[in-house]
Amino acid sequence: MTDMSSQVPPARRGSIPGSSAPVRGAVDLGALVQAREQQRQAQERAAQIAANPDAAPSGPLVFDATTANFQAEVIDRSFLVPRNVDRWATWCEPCKQLSPVLEQLANDDAGKWVLAKVDVDAEQAIAQAFQVQSVPSVIAIIKGQPVPLFQGAMPEPQLRQVMDELIKVAAENGVSAPGDVAAQEGAPDGALEPEEAEDTRFDAAFDAFEAGDWDAAEQAYRDILATDPNDVDAKAGLIRVELMRRTDGVDAAEAIAAADSAPTDIEAAKKAADIELLSGDARSAFNRMIAVVRATSGDERQAAREHVVSLFELVGTQDPDVVAARTALANALF
């Protein structure tokens, strides 16, 4: 039986360099991010697809995924347009309710994502590779990486919110369809330009991080954004600069104690979550902020959501804790 999970390459993380400088004895964030290697692998994969379109043929907005076409139609093409995988079975009544709604949403979104339908009884290799425990269940594939979305049937308004969030997540990972599969996937040979394997624009930022010079690091990232305002890596770099500034001189024990004593205090929660992330406990940081999302509303809720999403960027969207936290955040919001 083919182990499809072994074929899934890592998604690209932001180009955020590790730092050798100790942060109050904490585990360095460099242990959480391997930016250059992740970038290189994603770029190589994108270059392979661009150079050989036949290796990853395009298809309709809704199609049946099988063991034979899963690598080409789902994994490979997820570097260009996100894939949602609907795991279903003929005997499953909730599946019969969910699938038509998903198909309609896929057509409504006109290529922002593609729906791959998997009959788990007929395609047991896929079901085993992705550890399907119940149906219906839906996962997204973005840059080859599975992102669990939900299990069970769901009403259309809630599904709409999940799909909108998925499109945002894909864009954050550099997978942003223009709204038309033909435009994104059916471009003529040579129309997709692979990125360079090494981007020297970030060298100044890397050097500044190694020296602990946050002002210089910020300026280096802003210089990149001045010429390319949508550069995901530079935006992620600025997030880490701000993280290092926010935690500079903060007493970790006091910050966490303050947040624990006032669980809905958004500023206290943000400071404690920053400390937890720097200490290598990303799961606690995410859980703390998601708890604030559940307990608040309005501007405070939005601020908590934005903060935890910024922490996702630092850890990397394919990290298991991030995958689980994104699902928890979606549940807290919707």
| Backbone φ, ψ for residue 44 (5° rounding) | -60, -40
Compute φ and ψ for 85, nearest 5 degrees.
-105, 115
Find out whether 143 and 11 touch, Cβ atoms under 8 Å: yes
pLDDT given for residue 2 in this prediction: 34
Distances (CA, A) of 180 to 114, 166, 229, 230: 11, 16, 23, 20
Answer yes or no: is pLDDT of 56 > 50: no
Of 288 and 187, more confident = 288
* CA distance linking residue 124 with residue 143, whole number of Å: 23
Domain boundaries along the sequence of the chain = 16-33+199-333, 51-185
Q: How far apart are CA 28 and CA 229, in angstroms?
A: 28
Nearest alpha-carbon partner for 113 in 13, 184, 56, 43: 184
Whole-number pLDDT of residue 270: 93
Contact predicate 149/138, CB 8 Å: yes
- Please give the residue that has the higher pLDDT: either 116 or 186: 116
Distance of CA 66 to the CA centre of its chain: 25
Torsion sign across C-alpha atoms 314, 319, 325, 330: positive
Average pLDDT, rounded, for the chain: 76
Q: 41, 234 in Cβ contact below 8 A?
A: no
Q: Is the pLDDT of residue 27 over 90?
A: no
d(CA 283, CA 287): 6
- Residue 260 is predicted with a pLDDT of 94
More confident residue, 257 or 48: 257
Greater model confidence, 262 or 59: 262
pLDDT one-digit tens code per residue, 111-159 = 889 999 999 999 888 888 777 778 898 998 888 888 888 888 888 888 9
Does the pLDDT of residue 293 top 90, yes or no?
Answer: yes
More confident residue, 186 or 68: 68
Whole-structure pTM value:
0.42
DSSP string for 28-40: PGGGT--HHHHHH
Q: Which residues pair with 26 in a beta bridge?
A: 23
For a pLDDT cut of 90, what percent of the chain falls above it? 25
pLDDT category at 45 given cuts 50, 70, 90 is: low
Catalytic residues: 92, 95
Least confident of 132-136, 164-168, 322-326: 132-136
- Residue 32 has a pLDDT of 34
Residue 102's pLDDT is 93
Query: What is the SS3 assignment for 61?
Result: coil
Give the model's confidence band at 30: pLDDT under 50 very low, under 70 low, under 90 confident, else very high: very low
pLDDT at 65 over 50: yes
Tell whether omega for the bond before 17 is within 30 degrees of 0, i.e. cis.
Answer: no
- Residue 322's pLDDT is what? 85
First to last CA, the chain: 38
Architecture in CATH of 51-185: 3-Layer(aba) Sandwich (3.40)
On whether the 16-33+199-333 domain is CATH 1.10.10, my answer is: no
